[in-house]
Structure 1
């Protein structure tokens, strides 16, 4: 029999036993207080997060991909992080993939029993397909989701680096992975509702892993997203602002540089900083493996 009551994420929080008697301000206050445990819990696992960042960076440099796997809230968080990577960092969608138990429809509506299906995890990973250059990160607040455990075990059998993110120490998903990241953030404000503190902790860690790895492969100069995709007017203005911030040039010059660079902010920046043509800037970036700072 599954004994959820032994998991920290399923325990009752004595500080919120009177939740149903609280005023709106009291509810907001107690939730804010409890969220402070999230930051503290994540801080304790930063060495493991750093190791994951390094693995993902190495994977990207070798032509591999990052795959997130999860069910319910955990799966949605992985999908969310994956779909934000292409517009933010200008990478192809197949470079960061989010899999949620039950498929895309499970993102907006729960698919009953999907998280318990080991076969479903194997089907989805085989369809990608995986290879030994990839990193698979299994996300499960409880740390016992069969869909995630099965996926991690299969990925390891192919030689992939595997990471587990759970909010219970000594989790089953952690034991199924090469690296366990287990921030313990305490019982939820609403008993068992892991979309709250556990979900926040998972989101923080995913932010760190994807952003850190993208910094490592040259998608960032200073603290600017120099490979941002210009798919709307806001992002076109952002690209222009990025060029002016990185080089100190005028807005008019930034527009000219971007036009000459075919809209590529990174190329435009190198053109200005090295006083070179777009072609020369592209060649310099290629030699520097996409790192603006190395070009300089």
Structure 2
């Protein structure tokens, strides 16, 4: 039986379709992603609850995947330190084939069922950690093997896939299945499937960081001040937190640069 992600596109003769119609139809297919992801919220909630419980005891999140799925995990993980001021090791993304595979395909890397656990062991992974396996197809051996071993060793495990009842779902404790339907270009899972996975990873990491106290109100009070735009944003956050008219832009900016974060600047001003 052909999986949903490998099923023929709902559209044919793409090479003969006018450009405007191409774009409209791609957008029409993309609109289906939101609904599919929405149906997975109960599973995402279960996962995040488990992550937060473990993270409060020192646990971490690990993403594993191959190709687009692996790259999306790395992308999500790499945004956590600058956005929330978290340690780079708190959320880690690993891709089959190693860092070289971020830009270039590494032949047969995803077919090695034992390599993921070896890659994870290099990070001293333990039972307080959570492993999230990402595979649009749901049948990537690299991900299957990693989830299987992790679950045997007592880690919390989850699968993010775009096929129902897939192999990785069976290996994970929590199965997150966003079935978005056939791709616009048959089998091109970097499209709707990739978008769904990106949304789900955003939900996992963002809600986790909020639950871990990394957001105050609706602001990234622990963000890294890595460029002028973020320093300006942080300065204005401080002014809003302290109250308009209570502190000047220059005073808020000086506080931010002195203490290195919005949270610390506001806390020290109030003392």
Aligned partner of 1:147 in structure 2 is 142
Q: Deviation of residue 243 (structure 1)?
A: 1.4
3-state DSSP class of the match of 2:80?
helix
Q: Does 1:6 align with 2:2?
A: yes
> How does the TM-score come out when normalised to structure 1?
0.88
Cα deviation per residue 1:200-224 (whole Å; 9 max; x = unaligned)? 0000000000000000011001111
Cα separation, 2, equivalents of 1:83 and 1:233: 20
> How does the TM-score come out when normalised to structure 2?
0.96
Relative distance call for 1:21 and 1:175 in structure 2 (3 A) is: same
Q: Deviation of residue 250 (structure 1)?
A: 3.2
Cα deviation per residue 1:243-262 (whole Å; 9 max; x = unaligned)? 123332431331233244x2
Larger RCO (CA under 8 A, 6+ residues apart):
2
Q: Does 1:265 align with 2:259?
A: no
Deviates more, 1:119-128 or 1:161-170: 119-128
Unaligned runs of 5+ in 1: 277-296
Equivalent in 255, 262, 268 of residue 253 of structure 2: 255
Q: Deviation of residue 153 (structure 1)?
A: 0.9
As a proportion of its length, which structure holds more helix?
Answer: 1
Cα separation, 2, equivalents of 1:269 and 1:26: 52
Deviates more, 1:231-240 or 1:249-258: 249-258
How many residues of Structure 1 are paired with residues of Structure 2 in the alignment? Answer: 268
Cα separation, 2, equivalents of 1:242 and 1:74: 35
Runs of 4 or more above 6 Å deviation: none
Q: Is the 8 A contact 2:239 2:248 kept in 1?
A: yes
Aligned partner of 1:290 in structure 2 is none
CA RMSD of aligned residues (A): 1.2
Aligned partner of 1:220 in structure 2 is 215
Aligned partner of 1:294 in structure 2 is none
